[in-house]
Amino acid sequence: MRNINLVILGFITTLFLSCEAMEISKAEIYGAWEQTGYENETLVLKRVKALSGNEYGFELLENGTFIENKNAGWCGTPPISYTKYEGKWTLVSDSIFNIEVPFWGGDSEFELIIADIKKDELQILLKFDSSKN
């Protein structure tokens, strides 16, 4: 019985130590990002100097402004027309931003969750709450 308790204690300790929170500096994410693809369930973006207007992307500005380049209309069949929509962001935690931004059909609110960030690459999850949109 004592061995089982030690194994369980060791497992719980390992679990807590391996689940460390991702510390992200806001300065790391400020700027413009454009989609390059998907990796599993995450959206992969690259850092760009400015949004091209031909791809999904966004700018996260220090003053709380969020500019999202996305579909200009309801049709998602190529060729897709893009336009920039200006909204705002607030920080929920070190790796979660609450985004409020309009789109062609009204207003949208979602969480932008940072899965991984490197110097020029960002992996995110977008979490939409259907009761708010």
The residue type found at 108 is S
CATH number for the domain whose boundaries are 24-128: 2.40.128
More confident residue, 129 or 51: 51
In the chain, where the domains are located: 24-128
Q: How confident is the model at residue 15 (pLDDT cuts 50, 70, 90)?
A: very low
Which stretches of the chain are assigned E, i.e. beta strand?
A: 31-39, 42-48, 57-60, 65-71, 82-93, 96-103, 106-117, 121-128
Q: What would the pLDDT profile of 19-75 be if each residue is shown by its tens digit?
A: 444 556 667 889 999 999 999 889 999 999 999 989 999 999 999 999 999 999 998
> pLDDT value at position 2?
52
